[in-house]
Chains A and B, each alone.
Chain A
Amino acid sequence: MIAQGKEKGKTQVSRKTTDGGTPVEESSSENGSFLTDLGYRAVLDLLPCYVSIQDAALRILFTNSQFEKDFGPGVGRICHEVYKKTAEKCPLCPVQRSFSDQKPHLSEETVRLSSGEWADLAVYSAPITDIFGNVRAVIEMSGNITKLKENHKELAFLGQSVAVVSHDIKNILEGLQGGAYVVDEGIKDDDMKLAGKGWNVVKRNIADITAITQNILYASKKRFSKYQEIYLEDLIDDVVNLFEKKAEDMSVNLEVKTNPALPGVRVDPPGIRRMLNNVLLNALEACKADKENRFHKVTVRTDFYDKRHFMIEVEDNGTGMDDATREKIFKGFYSTKGDAGTGLGLHVVDKVVMGHGGRVEILTMPSKGTTFRVILPMR
């Protein structure tokens, strides 16, 4: 059986475990007598966490039932092969550390359950020593903290949102204030041409704040997608129409090429619309930022990707990106647009695509342009 030793955090093997692990010492305790009847094995099985005992080679000697339920049979197998389905040891293996310094350790690990799902675990290890103080095995107890980690990420996201939104709103306020001033001056001088120019600035900034508000709502709320069958062509025409004036102002030729053979697809139309808004805006901005004196164009394309997937592509011949930028753009709030961007748009794109069980491919080359390809499953 296993009994708690005197030294904090150390567990001592005091004598051989009987089947079911009935602890002889505790049987004399009246208060704990029901534990005797239950047995250690059963107590460990009741724990809503994973318990295992491992030897120095990380071979599993014992697991509780929660462990077996989520990872399958583990006894006789190597810890990381069961937890992570890999032949490589964890760099900060707490079990090995407990073997080497005879102390308890804690680490956070991302593991893969038998179901294929990934989970974040807080892993505690403690040495089990014999009467001579030699570590004979290490007991490991892991709690699933996936939900906690998600909450943590959401909190961090919220903090960043406040910062980027405040920055964006300052720019928009500047635009609204400046535009309103020009409108006032135009009216004062009876110069409707000037007032009209000021009004366009106001309208652009109203459109910007509308887009930001929609992105914030989309990014921060857990919304339920409402899937319905639609013809992509209609949705794409709607979105592209909204951008026609903007593209014209930026001297960018905007065109749509849809494959008429593409059947109706089941998507969440508001999500796809929001996603396409952001990708299109990025493509136009990439053309605007490109100072090479060339004819700029953005093409929106829909087509089959393979038998089970369709794709929506937005191709531009703007600035393009280098490999490092391409790697970074989906990491929260990375923007290539300096003062003009927050990175919130791509976060929303990522959220929509993930929600649809799809993926994104980015084909890009500096000074040549970018093709942003969203691949979604046919439903």
Chain B
Amino acid sequence: MGDMRKIVLIDDNTDFLFTMSTFLSRNGFQTFTAEDGQEGLAVIEKEHPDLVLLDVMMETLYSGFEVCRKMRTEPALKDIPIIGISGMGDELGVKFDKERDGEYFSPDHFFEKPVDREKLLEKIGELLKK
């Protein structure tokens, strides 16, 4: 397990955590899951993962936006790539805009649910090469 790349998944939807962590672990990653932002940050600080998969719209103490902001302002965590995920799309006006939201919420990439698994793997590979 030592040389496996680590991914932390944070989402308040436990079904998503289970299915996505199954998918990622079967594609060679070591996964850690958290159901809210606060717990997620603790896991990130402990495991120092290679990448974080983060639900944006969690109604928990720390939302995805908050986790992202805290990671970006913490020197030890700021370079960990983040992929933001949400089911909220254009319809409700919640769409990540790197120019507009960059300072506050700056994931390296953004996927909408349902997540295209192949594209996700491609993007993870790309971000981990950097």
Q: Name the distance in Å between B57's Cβ and chain A's nearest Cβ.
A: 4
From residue 78 to 130 of chain B, which have CB atoms closer than 8 A to chain A? 86-89, 91-92, 112-115, 117
Q: Are A185 and B115 in contact (CB under 8 A)?
A: no
Q: Are B58 and A178 in contact (CB under 8 A)?
A: no
Instruction: Decide if A289 is an interface residue (CB 8 Å cutoff).
Output: yes
Complex CA gap A236/B114 in Å reads: 35
Q: Are B87 and A170 in contact (CB under 8 A)?
A: yes
Q: Are A167 and B87 in contact (CB under 8 A)?
A: yes
Instruction: Decide if A175 is an interface residue (CB 8 Å cutoff).
Output: yes
Complex CA gap A171/B16 in Å reads: 9
Query: In the complex, which of the residues B20, B55, B114 has the most CB atoms of chain A within 10 Å of its own CB atom?
Result: B114
The dominant DSSP class at the A interface is helix
0/1 string, A155-173, CB within 8 A of B gives 1: 0000000111011101101
Instruction: Decide if B19 is an interface residue (CB 8 Å cutoff).
Output: yes
From residue 51 to 94 of chain B, which have CB atoms closer than 8 A to chain A? 55, 57-60, 63, 86-89, 91-92
Instruction: Decide if A357 is an interface residue (CB 8 Å cutoff).
Output: no
Complex CA gap A174/B111 in Å reads: 12
Task: Tell me which of A36-44, A136-144, A333-341, A362-370 binds B.
Answer: A333-341
Assess A170 versus B59: contact at CB under 8 Å? Given A175-B15, A201-B15. no
Q: Which residue of B lies closest to A169 (CB)?
A: B87
Q: Are B91 and A167 in contact (CB under 8 A)?
A: yes
Q: Are B86 and A339 in contact (CB under 8 A)?
A: yes
Q: Are A174 and B57 in contact (CB under 8 A)?
A: no
Q: Are A340 and B89 in contact (CB under 8 A)?
A: no
Complex CA gap A289/B59 in Å reads: 9
Complex CA gap A163/B93 in Å reads: 10
0/1 string, B6-37, CB within 8 A of A gives 1: 00000011011011101100100000000010
Q: Name the distance in Å between A49's Cβ and chain B's nearest Cβ.
A: 40
When the two chains form the complex, which single residue of B36, B92, B114 contacts A167, counting CB atoms closer than 8 Å? B92
Q: Are A174 and B114 in contact (CB under 8 A)?
A: yes
Instruction: Decide if A226 is an interface residue (CB 8 Å cutoff).
Output: no
Complex CA gap A338/B88 in Å reads: 10
Residues of B near A163 (CB, < 8 A) are 91-92
Q: Name the distance in Å between B28's Cβ and chain A's nearest Cβ.
A: 14
Q: Are A201 and B19 in contact (CB under 8 A)?
A: yes
Query: In the complex, which of the residues A162, A177, A339 has the most CB atoms of chain B within 10 Å of its own CB atom?
Result: A339
6 smallest beta-carbon distances between A and B, as pairs:
A178-B19, A338-B59, A163-B91, A174-B113, A339-B57, A173-B114
24 sampled A-B residue pairs with Cβ under 8 A:
A166-B89, A167-B87, A167-B91, A167-B92, A170-B89, A175-B13, A175-B15, A175-B19, A178-B15, A178-B18, A178-B22, A179-B19, A181-B117, A194-B22, A201-B15, A204-B15, A291-B60, A336-B59, A338-B59, A338-B63, A339-B55, A339-B59, A340-B13, A340-B59
